């Protein structure tokens, strides 16, 4: 596409060249193919060491959780480690029957519970015991954690998965000679998932929520921010979902989610390392070719209505003060995306960001001032987020007042050209530094492909950044950092008498 900016400042000419070379270099080493069923592969050869990184990105995440069943995408991600009929069972035909029996007992239990005030407590108790017995029976056929154990025994490292609002990822690294094992295991978990140990795993997922959200002041404040900022769009909740929804999730919900969203056309795979792309293709056809093609899942149609005024929320916590202040911004496909990223670098990047210099370094009223240009996801209109932790003896109110003053000045005074050049140089250098690891690269290639339809955008994006002018930054600051667009959430100390 467009060649790197000839008009660019001499200052970053060298790094611009380096990145252009990287793109050319990558073109030679990348092989891309799509199977007939729609599953896409990106293979990047890197033969320095006999290891390979694998990254699977599913273009579905917690935003796709059905209403009342939040946490479902995350729940399925956990189930994807539970094995298949062939992996993890001592007797699949019997286990299958036992799993069906759990669901029948659970249906009866829910039927009784649904009577609410007319439910018979003794009957509920008896049915709960039936469910428990059915679970114990099914568990007796399970070889627990066999699926991840096979990966660990074969030298797999960095095994994990993550559910975000926009997408879900699965990843690990293997010694290069065992690459075929990944093709087998990864294809089988998406071809024949078994929802075994579902209700125990639901408890584990709840524990994860308690750990990440309920027992962390940042987690609680973040949950409050999203719930306050978004009135309609599913960005209104944390990726893990609500506790009461999680407690009610059923196997049939997870099966339906899997059938709808884990279709080959909605999944992309990146492989980086010591692998022959021709062989990778043969293995991809053999193992993943049997995934049946299916229509793409629906998009989220809910559009967040325009915000009509500034919003504020507090959570009480005995912790030291924290604040999140967020402004509505458009999605990552908007023409202003690059300018918003540059603005976040100017305000809060490194030790030269405007907010850091003033509030942390010079006035010493804050210990942390951060900014995130795109939050909590990018596929849909989202938030430009500020994070504040006041220094000991200073308040949130004082900090916010100073920050607002700095933002007002930012909107009226044109930004220093050197600062602008600095942010652009850093963006380039950050990319070069990220090219160092197989697993990081796999994640990067896949993410650009899934989000923008082309992995090359990880390089061509830099051209967009280069084009951003001081006027652009000032314009987006004025346009988006407005009181009407704002949601502020703070922590407050519990009132003294309320504590007693």
Partner 1 sequence: MRRLILLAAFVAGALTAQNGAIPSYKNLQYPPLRSVKIPDVGTFTLPNGMKLYLLENHELPLVRGVALVRTGNLFDPADKVGLATITGMVMRSGGTATKTGDQLDEALENIAASVETAIDESYGNISFSALKQNASEVLTTFRDVLTTPEFRQEKVDLAKTELRSGIARRNDDPHGISEREFTERVYGHDTPYGWRLEYATIDRISRADLQAFYQRYFFPANVMLAVQGDFSTPVMKAELEKLFAGWTAQQPAIPAFPPVKTKPAPGIFLAVKDDVTQTFFDLGHLGGEFRDKDYPALEVMADILGGGFRSRLFQRVRTKLGYAYSVSASWGANFDHPGLFQISGSTKSGSTTETIQVIREEVEKMRTAEVTDQELTSAKESVANSFVFNFDRPSKTLNRILFYDYYGYPKDFINQYLAGIQKVTKADVLRVAREHLSPKDFTVVAVGNPAEFGKPLTTLGPVTPVDLTIPEPRAEVAGGAQKP
Within 24-53, the residues that bind partner 1 by CB under 8 A are 48-51
CA triplet 445, 446, 447: central angle to 5 degrees? 95
426 in Cβ contact with 349 (< 8 Å): yes
443 binds partner 1 (CB under 8 A): no
Closer residue to partner 1, CB minimum distance, 47 or 335: 47
130 binds partner 1 (CB under 8 A): no
Taking CB under 8 A as the binding criterion, the range among 212-220, 231-239, 451-459, 469-477 that sits at the site for partner 1 is 212-220
Within 85-114, the residues that bind partner 1 by CB under 8 A are 86-87
Cα distance from N-terminal residue to C-terminal residue, the chain = 66
**Min CB(136)–partner 1 separation in Å:** 11
Within 286-325, the residues that bind partner 1 by CB under 8 A are 286-287, 289-290, 317-320
227 binds partner 1 (CB under 8 A): no
205 binds partner 1 (CB under 8 A): yes
CB atoms within 10 A of CB 356: 20
Closer residue to partner 1, CB minimum distance, 316 or 331: 316
41 in Cβ contact with 269 (< 8 Å): yes
**Min CB(430)–partner 1 separation in Å:** 7
Q: 433, exposed or middle or buried, with CB in 10 Å at 0-12, 13-18, 19+?
A: exposed
Chosen residue from 30, 176, 227, 406 binding partner 1 by CB under 8 A? 176
Chosen residue from 177, 293, 310, 454 binding partner 1 by CB under 8 A? 177
Measured CA to CA, the distance from residue 369 to residue 66 in angstroms comes to 35
Closer residue to partner 1, CB minimum distance, 198 or 384: 198
CB atoms within 10 A of CB 409: 11
Chosen residue from 204, 232, 296, 300 binding partner 1 by CB under 8 A? 204
180 binds partner 1 (CB under 8 A): yes
Within 337-366, the residues that bind partner 1 by CB under 8 A are 349-352, 357, 361, 364
Closer residue to partner 1, CB minimum distance, 229 or 283: 283
Interaction mask 400-439, partner 1, x per CB under 8 A: ------------------x--xx--xx-xxx-xx-xxxx-
Q: What are phi and psi for residue 122, nearest 5 degrees?
A: -65, -40
194-to-78, 99, 290, 391 alpha-carbon distances in Å? 11, 9, 17, 50
157 binds partner 1 (CB under 8 A): yes
């Amino acid at each position: 596409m467009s060649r790197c900016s000839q008009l660019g400042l001499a200052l970053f000419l060298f790094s611009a060249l380096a990145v252009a070379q990287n793109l050319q270099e990558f073109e030679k080493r990348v092989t891309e193919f799509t199977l007939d069923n729609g599953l896409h592969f990106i293979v990047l050869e890197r033969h320095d060491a006999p290891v390979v990184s694998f990254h699977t990105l599913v273009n579905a995440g917690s935003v796709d959780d059905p209403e009342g069943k939040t946490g479902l995408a995350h729940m399925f991600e956990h189930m994807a480690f539970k094995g298949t009929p062939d992996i993890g069972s001592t007797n699949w035909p019997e286990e299958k029957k036992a799993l069906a029996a759990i669901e029948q007992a659970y249906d009866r239990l829910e039927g009784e519970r649904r009577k609410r005030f007319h439910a018979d407590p003794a009957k509920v108790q008896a049915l709960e015991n039936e469910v428990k017995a059915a679970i114990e029976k099914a568990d007796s056929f399970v070889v627990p954690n066999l699926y991840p154990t096979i990966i660990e025994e074969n030298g797999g490292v960095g095994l994990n998965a993550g559910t975000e609002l926009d997408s879900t990822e699965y990843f690990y690294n293997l010694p290069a000679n065992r690459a075929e094992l990944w093709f087998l295991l990864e294809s089988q978990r998406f071809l024949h998932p078994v929802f075994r140990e579902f209700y125990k795993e639901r408890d584990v997922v709840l524990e994860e929520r308690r750990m990440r959200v309920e027992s962390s002041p940042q987690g609680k404040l973040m949950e409050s921010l999203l719930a306050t900022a978004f009135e309609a769009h599913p960005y209104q909740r944390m990726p893990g979902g609500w506790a009461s929804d999680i407690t009610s999730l059923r196997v049939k919900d997870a099966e339906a989610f899997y059938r709808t969203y884990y279709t080959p056309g909605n999944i992309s795979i990146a492989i980086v390392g010591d692998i022959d792309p021709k062989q990778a293709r043969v293995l991809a056809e053999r193992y993943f070719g049997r995934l049946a093609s299916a229509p793409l899942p629906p998009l989220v149609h809910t559009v967040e209505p325009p915000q009509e005024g500034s919003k504020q929320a507090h959570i009480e916590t005995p912790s030291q003060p924290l604040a999140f202040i967020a402004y509505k911004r458009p999605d990552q496909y908007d023409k202003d995306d690059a300018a918003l990223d540059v603005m976040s670098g100017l305000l809060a990047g490194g030790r030269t960001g405007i907010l850091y210099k003033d509030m942390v370094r010079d006035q010493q009223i804050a210990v942390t001032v951060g900014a995130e240009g795109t939050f909590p996801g990018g596929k849909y209109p989202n938030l430009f987020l500020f994070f504040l932790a006041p220094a000991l003896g200073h308040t949130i109110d004082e900090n916010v007042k100073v920050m607002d003053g700095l933002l007002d000045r930012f909107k009226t005074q044109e930004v220093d050209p050197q600062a602008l050049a600095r942010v652009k140089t850093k963006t380039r250098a950050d990319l070069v530094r990220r090219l160092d690891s197989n697993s990081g690269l796999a994640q990067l290639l896949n993410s650009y492909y899934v989000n923008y339809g082309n992995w090359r955008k990880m390089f061509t994006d830099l051209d967009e950044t280069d084009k951003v002018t001081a006027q652009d930054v000032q314009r987006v600051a004025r346009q988006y950092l407005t009181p009407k667009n704002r949601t502020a959430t703070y922590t407050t100390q519990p009132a003294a008498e309320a504590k007693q």
